[in-house]
Amino acid sequence: MSFTELKREVYGGNMELQRRGLVIYTFGNVSQIDRDKGVIAIKPSGVSYDQMKADDMVIVDLENNIVEGSMRPSSDTKTHVHLYRHFDSIGGVTHTHSTYATAWAQAKQSIPCLGTTHADYVHGDITCTRELTDEQVNGDYELETGIQITDAYQDRDPKAAPMVIVAGHAPFTWGKDAAQSVYHAALLEEIARMAYLTRTLDPHAAELKKAVMDKHYLRKHGKNAYYGQSK
């Protein structure tokens, strides 16, 4: 893929965030990696979605150096790069401050699997990370945010749970490319909204039975999945 094509993919992902109502003003960012070239394209820092163009996307290497672009990359670039370095199955990353997912982050609570909508896309809860220490916040903050996420996945497959809540901050999602990472961001916001409404109706609503959770996840994503049309 050429740099121009990579930028277009990432620009399209960023604009889809706006179309889905997941961002306002300069909130959020999307990136995509070209692993063969060892580079990622990412949204420029502080540029409004209404003003942004595909050529504004910034190309950086996996050492966070700018390879191509006239603007500074997103302030979250080091977080994205860390995720690409540690989750070798992913090709795109999205960060938003969407309302309901961010509310769970601000409450510092994981989103429990309360129903089959959640179970269709995430195997288990949507984890809220631990809080950063003052030392981490005052150090390399964006890198530490990435470490905060990967620490939460030491015993978990990132493909089985392609979304996370960063304590006190906001969500990150990922997928095979930029488009799928945005898709997961939209799913996360809807799941977060459903969970909020459920716990508002019943603060003691129980998590979904494990057998049902496993059934719904595996019929879509397991080795014997049968949801949808055969390829």
3-state secondary structure of 68: strand
Query: Which token pair is 103?
Result: 């509310």
Instruction: Round to whole Å and give the CA distance between 229 and 168.
Output: 40
Report CA-CA distances (Å) from 208 to 39, 109, 112, 145, 191: 41, 17, 9, 30, 14
**Partner residues linked to 122 by β-bridges:** none
Q: Cα–Cα distances in Å, from 125 out to 67, 115, 144?
A: 38, 11, 23
The catalytic residue positions are 120, 227
Among 223, 163, 168, smallest CA distance to 189 is for: 163
Whole-angstrom distance, CA of residue 177 vs CA of residue 186 = 15
Angle between helices 99-106 and 178-201 (to 10 degrees): 70
Cα–Cα nearest to 161, from 151, 148, 174: 174
